[in-house]
Amino acid sequence: MHTETSLDRGAKTVVLGVTGSIAAYKAAEIVSLLRKAGHEVFVVMTRSAAEFITPLTLATLSRHPVLSDLSEENGEEWKPGHIELADRADLLLVAPATANSLARLSYGLADDALSAVALATRAPVLVAPAMNGKMWEHSATQENVERLRARGVKFIGPADGMLACGYEGAGRLAEPADIVLRAVEMLSA
């Protein structure tokens, strides 16, 4: 017997991009909160993100395979997996987003799974940066952020506080609950 879940009632699809930040472990909470809010979540990880959190953790929480390598993707019969995810997304959420990932997104590079999905999707994009404060404040990063904002990309954070590198200031990943709240607002718009 099938019982209706919140995922059966018009769930939206969030593609969560996870990049190689110490804050990557918080992606597990983001996935859990999005699922509790009734949304379907597919995770795309950079190779460096897997140094901080395992794909198995995120696959278990999302209940979908994690895409991390373009050479290993399994899409529908003929459609590449990154294109399938790009088409399926109602929202692309990149959390955490490193300075490197912001630069890649800003310049439209597409040589890994996450940047390929980002370039192919027409869904709204929400980015939650996390990095050293000096990296966040650097003019190159700020130029990349402005270029992305000009294309309609929305940002949440970074927050102020103690950073993993020992510095205090801007650069912390926004709280997962705040990120999910913003994502849900964008999905409802």
What residues are annotated to the active site?
165
Contact (Cβ atoms closer than 8 angstroms) between residue 85 and residue 117: yes
Total length of the chain: 189
Residues contacting 74, CB < 8 A, separation 6+: 65, 81
Question: Distance between CA 88 and CA 142 in Å, rounded?
Answer: 30
Question: Distance between CA 158 and CA 96 in Å, rounded?
Answer: 10
Collapsing DSSP to helix, strand or coil, 94 comes out as strand
Residue with tokens 């990120």: 179
Collapsing DSSP to helix, strand or coil, 39 comes out as coil
Tokens encoding 121: 């999707």
Question: Distance between CA 177 and CA 123 in Å, rounded?
Answer: 21
- CA dihedral 62→112→99→149, nearest 10 degrees, is -80
